[in-house]
Amino acid sequence: MSKFPRISDLEPAAARNIPPFIHAYLEAGTGNGHAMSRNRKALDKVTFTPELMHGRFVPNLETKFLGQTFSMPFGVAPIGLSSMIWPLSEHHLGAMAAKLNIPYTLSTVAGASIEDIGSKCDGFGWFQLYAPHSRAIMSSLLERAVSSNMRVLVVTGDVPGPSRREDMRKAGAPIGSRNETKMNLKMLLQILQHPRWALAALELKGKLRFKNMEPYVPRDNSKPISEFIGEQLNGSLTWEYLSEIRKHWKGKLLLKGVMQKSDAMKAVDMGVDGIVVSNHGGRQFDGNPASISALPSIRQAVGPKYPLVFDSGIRSGLDILRALALGADFVLVGRPFLYGLAAIGTHGGEHVAQILEEEINNALLQIGAQNIPELRQRLDLKN
């Protein structure tokens, strides 16, 4: 795969292989894309000053986190409807997670079911919950996650309602807006011009699936399923509801989307096991600060031992080290895994993981840091 030695090489290849209206769903930020570009700019500013002549060493990337041992300090962030971006992507990424011993987070609004992906992940599956208004649906989803061996529940707190994602609207992306777009001639032409995607998509049989939510659609429902899902999931989560979920879920629980220390401390007080510092990859609110700029103060507030995950804007192994140096214990990566699948096909996710692993190893060698405490010492605080 020397054609794609960096994630930035996969991204344009992915864009070529997916119909533009689908690509817009994967790529879109919100507003003018400022939060998304802020994520990148702030990560690029974090530098390390290398320390010379540490001799030969092979860094050990094995990471213990939330009672599990992972081969590397990163995993896959939840991506709703990723099977629309690249067909069967939940299956491919779940199998990758089991093979490489890294976590894969399945979204509530995934195309594939908790049961199918739980068994693919073989103990490396996490389940992301958009809390449904109906408590009966919530507890059913949690029971299914437990029986499917999903080890960690990731509750997403930063979606008070749908985001505008104007680029998606302009491109006519079929979801994420209130009106479900019907297939039209423009979309059909785009599909015909992207035969690799079209062939892979034969699996979808022309229909968007929300397999986790489908069992709960009332029999007499005449609206599109996306409307039912919107009614259930939009703006339902409150701190009181999170505390109900905490009581229900006996396993490890992460709250995703935290950007300030007061929210972090509320989660700590509520018995949440860890936090995902994230601005949703710049997809929810264009006025958000860069996700990485929120990390140090949250680490300081929660103390050195409290589990912290970081996501938003990670595009290299060096970025992962930047987040670890600034206080994260673990990192989630979103869009890049889909770039890999769309650019290369079935094993594209593995290629992304391999790039990240090699880049982490190489950067640690260049920096002269054999472990995270040494890495933190080399962090250049001038920036």
Ligand X SMILES: Cc1cc2nc3c(=O)[nH]c(=O)nc-3n(C[C@H](O)[C@H](O)[C@H](O)COP(=O)(O)O)c2cc1C
Binding site for ligand X (CB under 6 A): 25-26, 77-80, 107, 109, 128, 156, 256, 278, 280-281, 283, 311-314, 333-335
3-state helix, strand, coil in the chain (%, to 5): 50, 10, 40
The nearer residue to ligand X, 190 or 291, going by C-beta atoms, is: 291
CB of 254 to ligand X, least distance (A): 10
The nearer residue to ligand X, 326 or 369, going by C-beta atoms, is: 326
The nearer residue to ligand X, 281 or 327, going by C-beta atoms, is: 281
The nearer residue to ligand X, 17 or 312, going by C-beta atoms, is: 312
Decide: 341 and 348 in contact? Cβ < 8 Å.
Answer: yes
Decide: 316 and 356 in contact? Cβ < 8 Å.
Answer: yes
Residues 6+ apart with CB under 8 A from 197: 17, 18, 19, 22, 86, 87, 191, 342
Rounded distance, CA 58 to CA 179, Å?
Answer: 52
Residues 6+ apart with CB under 8 A from 289: 38, 259, 279
CB of 177 to ligand X, least distance (A): 14
CB of 276 to ligand X, least distance (A): 8
Pick the catalytic residue from 23, 92, 194, 280: 280
Annotated catalytic residue 280 = yes
Rounded distance, CA 138 to CA 128, Å?
Answer: 12
Decide: 245 and 131 in contact? Cβ < 8 Å.
Answer: yes
Using Cβ positions, the residue closest to ligand X within the complex turns out to be 334
Decide: 317 and 363 in contact? Cβ < 8 Å.
Answer: yes
CB of 96 to ligand X, least distance (A): 16
Chain centroid, CA 194 distance in Å: 25
Place of tokens 């002269």: 368
Q: Tell the burial category of 26 from Cβ atoms under 10 Å away from its Cβ (0-12, 13-18, 19+).
A: buried
CB of 52 to ligand X, least distance (A): 33
Place of tokens 């992940």: 121
The nearer residue to ligand X, 335 or 351, going by C-beta atoms, is: 335
The nearer residue to ligand X, 313 or 368, going by C-beta atoms, is: 313
CB of 311 to ligand X, least distance (A): 4
Residues belonging to the active site:
280
